[in-house]
Amino acid sequence: MKKSIKAVSIILFIIAIFLGIRILVKTGIGKLDTYLSINLKLNKMLNPNSIDNKSIKQLREGLNSQSTIWSRKPIPFSNIKNITISENSKKISLRIYTPNNNNNPPIVIYSHGGFWIGGNLDTHDTVCRKLSQNSKAIVISVNYHLAPENPFPIAVDDVYTVLDWTYKNAESINGDKNNIAVVGDSAGGNLSAVVSLMARDKNGPSITCQVLIYPSTNIFQLNSNSWSQFSNTINLSINDMEKYISLYIPKKEDRKNPYASPLLSKDLRKLPDTLIITAEADPLKDEGEAYGNKLKEAGINVTITEYKGVPHGFITMDKITNKADAAINQISLYLQNQFKITKNYTNT
């Protein structure tokens, strides 16, 4: 009798574990990679993501921890320099990663994610190290000023200021001013897309290419299919996004500005070649794809890659998904090819 009870208990325990894993893994439509999903959902259970009553400091700490908790220890990188530039009566902190095996290398200007209110040079340090090492380019990480203390368009102006500074001072960092790319994830993808528009409109420095990693391209309306499907995902809900947007641009009408919502731009001609990375289980997936398709309609060379089984923010999750490194490798190869094309053109 005791053996029967023990056997039944074991069977019930196994069933409970199996059902528990299924509950953890299940997400919206489809599924996240199992190991990734379990880690993220367990973290959410331990740290409930209710942001309504949190202070700005608490919001930043939460966002910054999301970018570092699932990130591996940074790879060794010998040539890293922190500097502060003073341009147009403002100071902007930069972190410059210089590869050791290249003379006059191309330059990548990297804008970190964090929904315009969070993120910093440290949250994306691992990403920038890998990007510089793999692409053989100088990477300039931009510590742009954050909302709500610095609302729109201050962050946009910061990144454009760094683009202009980089072009004028490329020789001082031993870089190639004729081979500059802009790269960013999430809010940084938004800023990179906008800076490409701004550089065209201002007849500013030429941009070789732009890489937009799960970018926010329409903050005026969160009404895409992916927002409907993933409006309450593990690490980003529609309530969260509306809160972040309100802190960045308080007036809704201002969110129609193409420098806030590049998808709403009426003219996307004469923009650089573009790589857009999206994530399958990301509310922002559809607007990233929509921006890529609209660029194609304007005659721009665009590559769109969707990474299956991963959520928003996966580029900093190399501890729990190998798709983070896969994306970095794809981006690095894309940059190398684009830089090579530009260098060959300028040398003819």
The one catalytic residue in 37, 186, 196, 261 is 186
Residue with tokens 């729990």: 320
Q: In the annotation, is 196 catalytic?
A: no
| Cα dist from 242 to 153, 228, 249, 333, whole Å | 18, 14, 10, 35
CA distance 50 to 108: 35
The one catalytic residue in 282, 286, 318, 332 is 282
| Cα dist from 141 to 9, 80, 82, 100, 146, whole Å | 55, 11, 9, 18, 15
Structure tokens at 165: 């500074």
Q: In the annotation, is 282 catalytic?
A: yes
Q: In the annotation, is 237 catalytic?
A: no
The one catalytic residue in 33, 240, 312, 332 is 312
- How large is the C-alpha radius of gyration of the chain? 21
CA distance 112 to 97: 15
Positions marked active-site: 186, 282, 312
